[in-house]
Amino acid sequence: MACSDDPRDNLRRQLKLVEEAAKNGAQIICTQELFKSLYFCQSEDHRFFKLAEPIPGESTQAFQKIAKKYKAVVIASLFERRAQGLYHNTAAIIDADGSLMGTYRKMHIPDDPLFYEKFYFTPGDQGFRTWNTKHGKIGVLICWDQWFPEGARLTAIQGAEILFYPTAIGWHPSEKAEYGKAQHESWELIQRSHAVANGCYVCAVNRIGHEHVTDAAGSRVSEEGLEFWGQTFVTSPNGQIAAKASVDKEQVLVVPCDLEKVEFSRTHWPFLRDRRVDAYGNMTKRFVDQSL
């Protein structure tokens, strides 16, 4: 969905869409990243820390009610206020009985033009986790995490059958003509590769809309803003795109995922079996200098 500058209205509309998904048969439902607000990370502004909330809190309680009512798992992306001066970009994982299973805090925090997330978010300290929900074993990561094969792998080897990535990614409009096609194709390609390499489904949930954030005086912090490219999609374990949503229209996408295909993929393409874990020690190093 597209977001406005009214957090309560955004929550109301997101809850409505989650309920629509549940009514249409969805058993595991994932929101887009930071759905309660405009993508405020376009600027470094202390005002926006007021958008953060505790977990558990009002938002998680609202999603828990829907999860329990429809016996559906819900993944809700929130701006978490953990303590004074300590904030995270967090996904709350709610099981089909309405219980809050826990949280995943975004591990990789970007710092790029109009994506100034390091100003707001402390990197996650819980590691990568898999959640054994009523409807399947799932892994939850967030946006920038989706570019790192290490995160996908460490989640998959804990048994995750589906990786979910709440996302807020878009174009700088002035760059779209030259780089836009390649940027979007790279985004899809890296997640399709996670599906193949780990033999699992991958679900990336992106927002839509052209967003402008204003400063305290009401002026735009960037004249061009960010144009979110939507196109939420689900990839099968063989890397094929099973379904894709619109570029610019609000949409609920309900996609059947046959978890038997995970077992089929992992036995017919046994990458997990053939990993040389004895030879990967350098993966924990920042850089390997072979000249020494």
Residue 92 phi, psi (nearest 5): -95, 130
CA 66, CA 51: separation in Å to the nearest integer?
23
Q: What is the largest CA-CA distance in the chain?
A: 61
In a domain, 292, yes or no: no
- Per-residue confidence (pLDDT) for residue 291, from 0 to 100: 82
- Per-residue confidence (pLDDT) for residue 114, from 0 to 100: 97
Q: What is the pLDDT of residues 254-284, one digit of tens each?
A: 999 999 999 999 999 999 999 999 999 999 9
Contact present, 124 and 137 (Cβ < 8 Å): no
Distances (CA, A) of 282 to 108, 241, 290: 19, 33, 11
In a domain, 229, yes or no: yes
Angle in degrees, CA 193, 196, 200, rounded to 5:
115
- Per-residue confidence (pLDDT) for residue 64, from 0 to 100: 98
CA 29, CA 22: separation in Å to the nearest integer?
8
Structural domain for 149, as ranges: 7-275
Q: What is the pLDDT of residues 180-223, one digit of tens each?
A: 999 999 999 999 999 999 999 999 999 999 999 999 999 999 99
The total of other beta-carbon atoms located within 10 Å of residue 34's CB is 26
Q: At what angle do helices 149-156 and 181-198 cross, to 10 degrees?
A: 30
Q: What is the pLDDT of residues 62-90, one digit of tens each?
A: 999 999 999 999 999 999 999 999 999 99
In a domain, 167, yes or no: yes
In a domain, 290, yes or no: no
Q: From edge to edge, which strands make up the β-sheet containing 28-30? A: 28-30, 73-83, 86-94, 100-105
Residue numbers annotated as active site: 33, 106, 143
Q: What is the pLDDT of residues 1-55, one digit of tens each?
A: 999 999 999 999 999 999 999 999 999 999 999 999 999 999 999 999 999 999 9
Token pair in block for residue 132: 């054994």
**Structural domains counted in the chain:** 1
CA 86, CA 284: separation in Å to the nearest integer?
26
- Per-residue confidence (pLDDT) for residue 59, from 0 to 100: 98
- Per-residue confidence (pLDDT) for residue 290, from 0 to 100: 85
Residue 83 phi, psi (nearest 5): -165, 175
- Per-residue confidence (pLDDT) for residue 75, from 0 to 100: 98
Q: For the range 219-223, what are the long-range contacts, defined as Cβ-Cβ under 8 Å and sequence gap of 24 or more?
A: 221/42, 221/43, 221/45, 222/42, 222/43, 222/114
CA 113, CA 104: separation in Å to the nearest integer?
25
- Per-residue confidence (pLDDT) for residue 292, from 0 to 100: 63
Q: What is the pLDDT of residues 125-139, one digit of tens each?
A: 999 999 999 999 999
Residue that has been written with the tokens 């803003």 in this structure: 225
Q: What is the pLDDT of residues 148-157, one digit of tens each?
A: 999 999 999 9
**DSSP, residue by residue, 47-59:** GGGGG-B-SSSHH
Token pair in block for residue 191: 């997640």
- Per-residue confidence (pLDDT) for residue 218, from 0 to 100: 92
Task: Return the CATH number at 184.
Answer: 3.60.110.10
- Per-residue confidence (pLDDT) for residue 176, from 0 to 100: 96
pTM confidence score: 0.97
Read off the pLDDT of each residue in 232-246 and give the average, rounded to a whole number. Answer: 98
Read off the pLDDT of each residue in 102-120 and give the average, rounded to a whole number. Answer: 98
In a domain, 235, yes or no: yes
CA-closest candidate to residue 78, choices 148, 190, 166, 149: 166
In a domain, 2, yes or no: no
Read off the pLDDT of each residue in 85-108 and give the average, rounded to a whole number. Answer: 98
Residue 203 phi, psi (nearest 5): -125, 115
